Structure 1
Amino acid sequence: MLTANTPLVQKDPTSPLRVIMIGRISTPQQNESNIVASFAADEKFLSQFYDGPVTVKHLGERGSGLRTDRQSIIEAEEEIATGTWDLVLMEDLSRAYRNPRHQYEFIQDAVDNETRVICIGDNLDTADPNWEVMMGAASLRHGLHIPDTRRRVRRTAEYTFHKGGMVQKIRFGYRKLTKEEAASGQFGPVGLRLAKLAEATPIVMEMRRRVMAGYEYEAIAVWLNESEIPPGSYSSKRKWTGALVSRFLRSCILQGVRRFRETIFTTQFKDGKHRRKKNASPETKYYPELAHMTKEEQEELWIAMDSRTVNSGQKSGRGNPRHGIARDRGIWPSKQVRCAICKGFLERTLNDQLKCKHAFDSDNPCWNHVQVKAETIRQKILPQLLEQLDRHPAFRATLIEAAWASYAQQRQRQLRKSSDLDAQIQQLSKERQNLVQAIRCGGEIEALVEELKAVEGRLRVIDLTRQATEDEASTLGIQSREQFAARLNEGLLVTARENFEFTDLMRDYVTEFVIQPVQAMDSTQVFPRAKLTFRLSAITGSESSPVEIRIVADCFQPSGPVEILEQCRQAKAEHPKWGCVRIARLIKKPHMTVKRSLHYLELMASANTNDPFRELSEKPEKAARWTKRRKNNLE
């Protein structure tokens, strides 16, 4: 048991001992009372060695110890960075992190800020001159916990799968058996926890027939829904969709082959998030009792489905532009902007448009169907942000450093890509020269000529790629930090359009970013308005400076009458008796546009507002282009 040999002392003798207590549980199966219990143990320990006044901040939550984006640990690190806390007290080191890399960083940052750290269960106290020894032992102990657990879980899961267990997703046409039913052997091999529903086989075969006949997946989904045939129990929408039909028909279970670990999730040491990839050799086992169709019938079906994918131009694997990119990474403002109504993320649709993800839900959809172009958000928000930061030079300089680092990373990637392409061009040029020389010397002319054509074809493709890379690199022509700072508006726009790191940067600084639907006074048209809160203290880590910047930007082109509202208001104030024709001559605008603008000012006056648009908090009775489109006959 750890004993505090060095007395606990406040940094400020006139204030209480300031203590941060960190608690954590990992899984939903664990009771949150465990966090409270760990705090109680910490407080009991503290009372044994300190009897003065104490200020305690409890930081606890449920989350993986590998994740670096947990709210409690972020708050703890921010508090420690202020240098105003005397002690961080934990039951053991794993309450902060499981990854030794982040454990060392957390403890060393606390020591740098003269904040003492005590981990009771690890006998770790940074007031001990030899605390690094105990730190190494504690880090090793907690670091080995996850690989040991992972090995045991994987071994048990694979054994259970081959014995008929690990039934995770219940697809249409199947049901999960109880342990007693599986042990009876009445529905298949003893131990198999899955059984086929024989009455579903005709439906599966009819789905196959329709695909082979050329029916669209959406048409098949409509037929299934109209026939009141429910999808599998794991379907979140509780209805068939075209994508669900496609995935279902590609499942090997239809030919009686069970698969396990089809997708591998690999933990990233940087932030504890998972990267998923397709498993080239998953665990498989064949059960003829589960087959709705033969292997030959399904393979024929897959050939027909693959031909549709090829014709549609879809790419998968390395041919897809997002291959190897985590799902939570995107080009700003995606993965960050939310709907002001339901607080769901806006997702990218066609033509770089963003729309509320819950607007597509079938059960409880969000009524906000407003769409906004990502490029419009960038062009509206970033210049306003820079204008606001002009009033805070220190924050502007810090933002320039961070944005330049992101831009420099992007430029380095372009240079490496160009270098690789140059090496390929040089190698192919040598091969072409050798082939030409071989042709001149005689030999198998036809084979040499064919090979030369192939080499020249690859060379042309790489030349085009190299030229595109040069064009991309020279779009802005910024070579140094000074140039970037001088052309910051352009630099930020280019970085925001192409750089994932810029999205991560903005995620750290922006506390709120929503798209608020607004409606015109004289029509039913609904438009997007962006609202962003930028946390200045997140840039420097100091809470003593101005806290937040709030930006409101209308991300759309207003109508002609709305654009000249101020001009018409000023002209009418100066010449109250003038009509729309004389005002139109004064401001040099069409008189009908001025007439509508004056009418718009009357509507604003009657609504007692200076805002030309109404912010919507409830679904409007009428909204242009929000009505459901008529469905074509898909059969």
Structure 2
Amino acid sequence: MSFYDYTKPKNGTKFEGIGVARISGENQDEKSWEDQEAFYREWLDRTYGRDNYELRVIAYQGSGQILDHTEFLELCDLVATGDYDFVIAEDLSRIIRRLQAVIFCEEAEALGTRVVGIGDPVDTSIEGWEYAAVFTSLKNKAFCKDTARRIRRTLRNRFANGEIVMCLQYGYIKPHPGASDEEVQKDPEADAVYEKWVSMLEDDATYAEVARWLNSENVPTGKYCTEDKWTGAMVKRLTYNPILKGERHRNKKKVRRKQNGRPECINAPPEELLVRQVPHLAFFEPDRWDRLIRKLDERNKKYQRSKERKNDPRAGVARKRTRWPGQHLRCGVCGRIFVHGGHGRKGRMMCNGARVYTCWNAMSVDAAQVAEVVTSDIRELVRGLPSFDVHWVTEYENQRAQFRAAQDAELGRIEKELAKEKGALENFLAALGELGSSPSVLQKVKSCESKIQLLEDRRYQLEQDCGQREELPSLEEITAVSDETFSNLAVECEEFGRLMKSVVTEFFVLPYQLANGGHVQPRIAFRICLAPLVGSSDMELLQFDRIVDLAKKPKRLRFLNDVVRMVNTGEKHVDVAEKLGIFKTEVGYAMALHRRMQELGVADPWIPVVDESQAARYFKRVRNSVFKFEPLEGFESTRHPRAE
């Protein structure tokens, strides 16, 4: 028996209530809201009388599984006021599904609000309503699960028969909406596009670079794509589709309900995966596609978020398209990356450690100037290379022989590792056959298979390297390739940055000072490897260490050689200054620099600054109380290579 008298309105005049009219999806007719309201009024007319109630209708579209719908939360807030006499719905599932419907009824009953599900039937004014509400909720839940299983079973069978061909990606032609996969054809124009696409990824291009190339070539995004421009996410999604190797996959994902009732997509168990072979739709050999996917997974593994936060998994990740030398130039003192925004200026870069007071190298450099001087220095180096004499050729042949020996040794080691892992895999499979299903053995089987795949990929790469050119390229060939490369690529484009990262290594900003004092100035020390320009990767002979200046040379340095030569011939400082068009004091400064160089016994007027005590006079942050020099672990804090 209820503790409340539901026959009398709470306000003493008319009954006030809420009607819930809900439809699940977009395919349902919105007129159903009006039909549900009419159904409620018909029941209320019979129960309370035509003019003896006021009905407020909450009508919305959405799944009854979701507990945080705005309209359902609004309904709960209205009921919580205790002002309403009843809540009415066609059945409880119109209000909410699952056992939350029973909880809603109990909370409404505690506030004296009657809940009526006409079609169930559930009426909280009738004793024993709880049994009907619980059984109704379980029945609705079982019905949903049974329907889902039936649909899933039907779709699995149709997929196995070649049906369920949904929206295909670019490169495939579906003749009519109900076509099977046997009727689908490849677009002949897509062969060259996919070949270039995959070749770029194999050459370490990013998804964004491939997308920009596709947009520049006006390649369509596909019949079923809602976007008219390619993006990096689209390129990745299409690249990972196994239909490119002639396989259709289904049931890789499944949906589960979260705590709030909203659906969540998760990986399905491996045994639920369905695979159908469609070799006539393959653009690539399966081995090539599998090798590319493993390479992309390995390359992008460092960008993934991990549960362990001991190391930053996003370190070295550009937050946007960064112009070279961004994400490449490093500090020669602490080893950290140089970042944009040095000293609050957009075009300048500075050490990331100096920004947080863990490095004393507080100089900033102009990014555009760094790109210009390094590129110019590479051009001058290539044009000034001497002819390859017999010594160069002999040295190159020795290097090739050493490289081949190392390659053969590595191949031998890989073959031994492969034999070992395959033997272990056979043992684990035999144990699995004897013991039956064992999670630990299955995990070891997967680990062995993964190691075997990585070793086979490494062996394939070494075998490909064996096919590289063996003859030493001519100087004319190196010069032509260099000029064409640096002339056709803009400094701002990512392809130029990717090329420079392969050509320029050991790329550091180092602090220097003239031998007789003065301001600390930045110099760029880097190593050039010209081998990538001619399609080789093992020619140490074509590596050169270089140093370039960023600061404008003072007059005492620009005229140093002329001043020393003229003074040593007996000319006076005044006469030297007049002939060179400089002041007498600048002649004196040049001679002072020369004397200091002689005292130190050096030929280079620039002296490296190697510790914070030398820098304290010029960089204020060194004198800050929070400063503590902390170079990267394992980094040598004094790297001052000599130019060749």
* Range of TM-score over shorter length: 0.3 to 0.5
Normalised by the length of structure 1, the TM-score is 0.46
For CA contacts below 8 A with separation 6 or more, give which structure has more relative contact order.
2
Q: Which has the larger radius of gyration?
A: 2
